């Protein structure tokens, strides 16, 4: 059976059929602008009476028709396509004259839902925002506004029933020691919220983004050894366990080794001994990651009676803290032995790290109930980093937050298509 439109029909009927704007709207004029490769479709409101007030839903008389507005729609073949219409205003006895809602676009936007849905898809899949803007023939600000609306929509729809394991992570933002902090859902690998700064007040605001009932489901929080995060977390989720991130701990230990090496290298070099020259990365990388020739060089100096090799052994011994003990009790014993050995080493930078770890030991031992790290968030962080480089710097924190949640929030971003 031939379909309804297999025979010749008028252009107006054709566009009404494919636009699906509802029986209230008709196509009154179609203009083709050959020069600018553009089509404009003018719409007229069919009904003379009975429009709904957007505030209360009451059926009212038409007060008047507002000024003509335009919406960019999906292209018609090779032509950029816009809809044009004057929207009726309902004469609401309670709310006064109110512009009616239309099915094809959100209030006060210049794009139809279908265009925004396409834009979201292109933004998600293009290599960069610049490239997406180019493909969509839209400007930077427009992309920003579409992403902002998408994120707002996604956050309204998001359900946060349970968040058993979360991570709190900081990241530098712009130059000059400015930071952002993210709260990440470690189970689902998504960013829950982003705030500017990394003070206790900033971390408080981060927790405020999580509804009270959801906070009750948080069992463990991975974080760096940062007092502000700890304080805010203890206030917001007092029953959750804090687990200091093992990668951040190993970073502190590496810094200790590096300080010992730099100092020792200075002392040796003054005596004409340059054994430690150019060895910085050998000590930090982990034996198993060295190439054959690096390994050869490394085994020579590692076995020499150097302070740096002692510091390195201390660092290496700590790696077993996460894997060798059978349980929390043994882990505590392991730590005490390691600590004693480190304090006797007379290596100040290592002792300093050891004292810091001892003071927070209760938040290290939690690893044995909740083996979580910020590694998931580190993965997210590299995504955030690429967002940052793709955007060539941000004018405001607000658009940075939008992009992070757009790309890393796993939100349902698409407009409701009717």
Q: Which stretch binds Zn ion (CB under 5 A): 48-56, 136-144, 338-346, 384-392?
A: 48-56
Least Cβ distance, residue 90 to Zn ion (angstroms): 7
Q: Which stretch binds Zn ion (CB under 5 A): 42-50, 52-60, 182-190, 213-221?
A: 52-60
Torsion of CA 162, 164, 170, 171, to 10 degrees: -70
- The whole-angstrom separation of Cα 66 and Cα 133 is 31
Least Cβ distance, residue 152 to Zn ion (angstroms): 24
Q: Which is nearer to Zn ion, 94 or 287 (CB)?
A: 94
Neighbours of 277 (CB within 10 A): 10
Q: Which is nearer to Zn ion, 47 or 188 (CB)?
A: 47
Ranked by CB distance to Zn ion, the top (closest) residue is 53
Q: In sequence order, what are the residues at sequence separation of 6 or more whose Cβ sits closer than 8 angstroms to the Cβ of residue 9?
A: 17
Binder of Zn ion out of 13, 29, 37, 55 (CB under 5 A): 55
Q: Which is nearer to Zn ion, 55 or 287 (CB)?
A: 55
Q: Which is nearer to Zn ion, 95 or 297 (CB)?
A: 95
Length of the chain measured in residues:
418
Least Cβ distance, residue 56 to Zn ion (angstroms): 3
CA pseudo-torsion sign 207, 209, 212, 214: negative
- The long-range contacts involving 330-333, CB below 8 angstroms and separated by at least 24 positions, are 331/364, 331/365, 331/367, 331/368, 332/361, 332/365
Least Cβ distance, residue 96 to Zn ion (angstroms): 8
Q: Which stretch binds Zn ion (CB under 5 A): 44-52, 56-64, 124-132, 311-319?
A: 56-64
What track of x and - describes contact with Zn ion for positions 71 through 110 (by CB under 5 A)?
---------------------x-xx---------------
Helix or strand run (H / E) with residue 134: helix 129-136
Least Cβ distance, residue 23 to Zn ion (angstroms): 23
- The whole-angstrom separation of Cα 295 and Cα 228 is 41
Phi-psi region of 112 (alpha: psi -120 to 50; beta: other; left: phi over 0): beta
> Is the CB of residue 257 less than 8 Å from the CB of residue 284?
yes
Least Cβ distance, residue 102 to Zn ion (angstroms): 17
Binder of Zn ion out of 9, 17, 32, 56 (CB under 5 A): 56
- The whole-angstrom separation of Cα 366 and Cα 126 is 41
Least Cβ distance, residue 87 to Zn ion (angstroms): 16
Least Cβ distance, residue 108 to Zn ion (angstroms): 18
Q: Residue 387's closest CA among 110, 180, 167?
A: 180
Residue corresponding to tokens 């349902």: 412
Binder of Zn ion out of 39, 53, 314, 347 (CB under 5 A): 53
Taking CB under 5 A as the criterion, which residues in 6-35 touch Zn ion? none
Q: Which is nearer to Zn ion, 53 or 411 (CB)?
A: 53
Residues that bind Zn ion (CB under 5 A): 53, 55-56, 92, 94-95
């Amino acid at each position: 059976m031939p379909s309804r439109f297999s025979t010749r029909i008028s252009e107006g009927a054709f566009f009404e059929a494919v636009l699906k704007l509802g029986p209230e709207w008709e196509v009154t004029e179609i203009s083709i602008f050959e020069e600018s490769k553009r089509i404009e479709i003018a719409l007229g409101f069919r009904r003379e009476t009975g429009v709904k007030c957007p505030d209360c839903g009451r059926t009212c008389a038409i007060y008047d028709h507002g000024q003509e507005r335009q919406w960019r729609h999906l292209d018609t073949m090779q032509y950029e396509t816009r809809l044009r219409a004057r929207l009726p205003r309902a004469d609401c006895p309670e709310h006064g004259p109110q512009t009616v809602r239309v099915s094809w676009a959100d209030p006060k936007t210049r794009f139809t839902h279908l265009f925004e849905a396409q834009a979201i898809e292109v933004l998600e899949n293009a290599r960069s925002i610049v490239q997406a803007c180019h493909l969509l023939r839209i400007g930077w600000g427009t992309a920003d506004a579409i992403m902002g609306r998408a994120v707002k929509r996604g956050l309204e729809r998001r359900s946060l029933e349970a968040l058993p394991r979360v991570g709190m992570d900081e990241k530098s933002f712009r130059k000059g020691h400015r930071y952002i902090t993210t709260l990440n859902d470690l189970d689902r690998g998504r960013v829950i919220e982003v705030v500017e700064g990394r003070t206790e007040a900033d971390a408080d605001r981060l927790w405020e983004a999580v509804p009270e009932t959801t906070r009750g489901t948080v069992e463990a929080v991975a974080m760096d050894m940062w007092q502000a995060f700890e304080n805010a977390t203890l206030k917001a989720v007092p029953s959750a366990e804090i687990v200091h991130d093992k990668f951040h701990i190993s970073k502190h230990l590496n810094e200790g080794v590096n300080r010992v090496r730099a100092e020792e290298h200075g002392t040796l070099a003054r005596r004409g001994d340059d054994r430690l020259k150019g060895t910085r990365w050998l000590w930090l990388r982990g034996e198993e990651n060295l190439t054959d020739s690096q390994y050869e060089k490394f085994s020579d100096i590692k076995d020499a009676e150097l302070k740096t090799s002692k510091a390195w052994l201390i660092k290496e011994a700590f790696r077993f803290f996460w894997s060798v003990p059978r349980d929390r009790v043994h882990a505590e014993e392991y730590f005490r032995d390691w600590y004693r050995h480190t304090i006797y080493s007379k290596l100040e930078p290592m002792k300093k790290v050891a004292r810091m770890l001892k003071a927070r030991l209760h938040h290290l031992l939690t690893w044995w109930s909740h083996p979580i790290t910020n590694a998931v968030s580190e993965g997210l962080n590299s995504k955030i980093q690429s967002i940052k480089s793709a955007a060539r710097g941000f004018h405001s924190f607000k658009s940075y937050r939008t992009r992070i949640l757009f790309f890393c929030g796993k939100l349902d971003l698409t407009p409701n298509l009717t």
